[in-house]
Structure 1
Amino acid sequence: MNIYVCVKHVPDSAATITVAGKTGINEKITFLLNPYDEHAVTEAARIKASSAHTAVVAVCLGKAAAENTLRAAMAMGADRSILIETDQPHDSIFTARALAAAIRSDGQPWLVLTGKESIDSEGMQTQFRLARNLGLPVATNVVKVDASAESVTVECEREAGTVDVFCMAVPCVIGVGKGLNTPNYPTFPDIVKSRKKPVRRIGLAELAIERPPAGMYIQELVPDVERRSPRALMGSAAEIAAQIVDILKNEAKVI
């Protein structure tokens, strides 16, 4: 049985990101495995450990450099990986079609895991579109997984601590949240072993994906400029507290 984990190659949120042109960024920064996807890979490895004859396959749509992200996923427990190579960014509509096509070309999935979102675009759409393309049920922001050969029971966290419980037939798509587990960060021997694991490279054209009738495109990226006006608050503790309340109420208008 195959567990496919769809991962994304994203800029490090700690990096200084600068806009290049109107729609791109300067890519001379650190890229890494999307943090939400770390939880997905960790969960796939956990499920595999208790399931005989199971393989974990990481799948990524991205540039050649995305192999580094796939190597990170394999160091965390994936057995092999698939890189769908493209030089262009794609929206969630096309990305889902590409991921579904690569999975179908590789084998029959038992489970398909993703992070519930990526830290760069934060669209939270890919898992739903992927499920639609594969014709599978889907749940997102999953914080607990109980998998068997025939079905999967998941707990999905909602707002204000509400938890929904769903039972889905397999195969199915699971978008995991950060509350699911603690990522299994690799040791140095894990990293060394990952270098020997296979990466199957697929040119995007090889998948013969039909161009969707709808699409989303970046028109322009504009840096977010913080505007701060420092102000010294003078007086006793009570007077300063009153000034803070006045600022929050009448200027910031947050209370």
Structure 2
Amino acid sequence: MNLVAIRTIYRFEMARMRRTLLQSVVSPVISTSLYFVVFGAAIGSRITEIDGVSYGAFIVPGLIMLMLFTQSLSNASFGIYFPRFVGTIYEILSAPVSYLEIVIAYVGAAATKSIILGLIILATASLFVPLHIEHPVWMLVFLVLTAVTFSLFGFIIGIWAENFEQLQLVPLLIVTPLAFLGGTFYSIEMLPPVWQQISLANPVVYLVSGFRWSFYDMSDVSFGVSLAMTLVFLAIGLAIVAWIFRSGYKLKQ
């Protein structure tokens, strides 16, 4: 394992976060805080509690997950797309660095950025509503697993995309709608029975449900199922990345 190469790529990607602090940290935190204020104030005045949890506190895990999805995808996709765009990816591919080490560095950096943002937003939310985390260890486990999983998918998007428009296509048209329909701002038990069953086909439901369980010991889907589905999504991402490097998809052109 070439730890020097991993550390070099990782530190370069983390340095980009420091150089673009307003865009990378301040903007997502402000955007998520606005969601919290608007939804918590507007809807929270009409929905006081959900299963004994105040609505303002109820949406905190969902908002953190929403940010985690979008930022993990964005950081990882741009991190690998830009070297492809300027041509420096071939210098990395020709260096004595394995595919595994490249993935660890890029995905690790993107996941680290998302986890930092998630913790910042968690601290920010605690200023608005009283929070109590029932299972802090599992909260961190879901936070890390989700960040790594979506960073992997972002890495895949960054390799697949041919231009900046395609880079934003999947997050805007697929991930964001799934996040909003995946129980971010509500419990799927509030839906009619038919829509509850349809919602179970949305992978985001399992991620949000498991993460919310770690806070309030309540979920739309059992904790075991949520954890298992999260690991399945992670395995799918790893399998796709392995195929990309094995086949040289869009890397050997």
TM-score (norm 2): 0.24
Relative to its length, the structure with more strand (as a share) is 1
Which one has a bigger Cα radius of gyration? 1
TM-score (norm 1): 0.24
